[in-house]
Amino acid sequence: MPVRILSPDHPAFPPPEAADEHGLLAVGGDLSSQRLERAYRQGIFPWYSEGQPLLWWCPDPRAVLYPPELRVSRSLRRTLRSQRFLVRADRAFRETMLACAAPRVVDGVAQPGTWITDAMVDAYCELHRQGLAHSVECWQNDELVGGLYGVALGGAFFGESMFSRASDASKVALVKLVEHLLRHGFTLVDCQMPSAHLHRLGAREIPRDTFLRQLAAALALPGQPGPWKLDNL
């Protein structure tokens, strides 16, 4: 089935099952808050690089993390006990996104570009203003040194990206996020694409149809509209 071309004034997506073998579902459209929320509710997310058209994805299988299954290593537990970081939520959303977008080194190789374009930053900051997008941040001596951001709808959290400028900072942010999600009845963290890093933290891959069923159940839960405040820092 050919990939659907979306027009800016047509909000409907094709069924998620219509994605191609790589998970690509549609091209075009816009990053309006209404379209983004509609996409996430259908298990669809945008992912593209600067200079590319806007691409929408719903891969099969799907990487997910169930909050009770988070794996916390002994070394990470030591970091948590040290209280090295002050962890906050929704204090520096744009700054967290920009830090996630900054060039980074992966396995000793500098990564030249980012999929977090200026348009993406503006779009998700608008979702944040609406209480749908959230950041969890690690601070050290009043400096932002790690964190993550994503979208929360019902009992589902859609993780978008994380960054770390200090050892374990992004992992601490993830642990505090999961603690928060468990307290507020969230059942699912969508990790979108699998990675070895996420697998070590407890994420696993499930068939897309299973993900879509579990997502529908999670979206029926009340969730927690923002802004968020983390407890028991």
Neighbouring residues of 172: CB distance < 8 A, sequence distance ≥ 6:
76, 79, 80, 84, 85, 87, 138, 146
Confidence class for position 107, pLDDT limits 50, 70, 90: very low
Which amino acid, 212? L
Contact at 8 Å (CB) between 61 and 191?
Answer: no
Q: Return the higher-pLDDT residue of 87 and 103.
A: 87
Cis peptide before 61 (omega within 30 of 0): yes
Asked whether residue 111 carries a pLDDT value surpassing 70, the answer given is no
Average pLDDT over residues 117-121: 95
pLDDT tens readout for residues 185-220: 999 999 999 999 899 999 999 999 999 999 999 999
Average pLDDT over residues 99-104: 87
Asked whether residue 146 carries a pLDDT value surpassing 90, the answer given is yes
- Structural domains of the chain, ranges and CATH numbers in brackets: 4-59 (3.30.70.3550), 63-219 (3.40.630.70)
Asked whether residue 172 carries a pLDDT value surpassing 70, the answer given is yes
pLDDT tens readout for residues 132-141: 999 999 999 9
pLDDT at 105: 57
pLDDT at 171: 97
Contact at 8 Å (CB) between 80 and 172?
Answer: yes
Average pLDDT over residues 103-129: 78
Asked whether residue 110 carries a pLDDT value surpassing 80, the answer given is no
Q: Return the higher-pLDDT residue of 168 and 233.
A: 168
Q: Which residue has the tokens 């090295």?
A: 84
Confidence class for position 143, pLDDT limits 50, 70, 90: very high
pLDDT tens readout for residues 50-87: 888 999 999 999 999 999 999 999 999 999 999 999 99
Asked whether residue 126 carries a pLDDT value surpassing 80, the answer given is yes
Sign of the alpha-carbon dihedral angle for 20, 22, 27, 33: positive
pLDDT tens readout for residues 17-54: 999 999 999 999 999 999 999 999 999 999 998 888 99
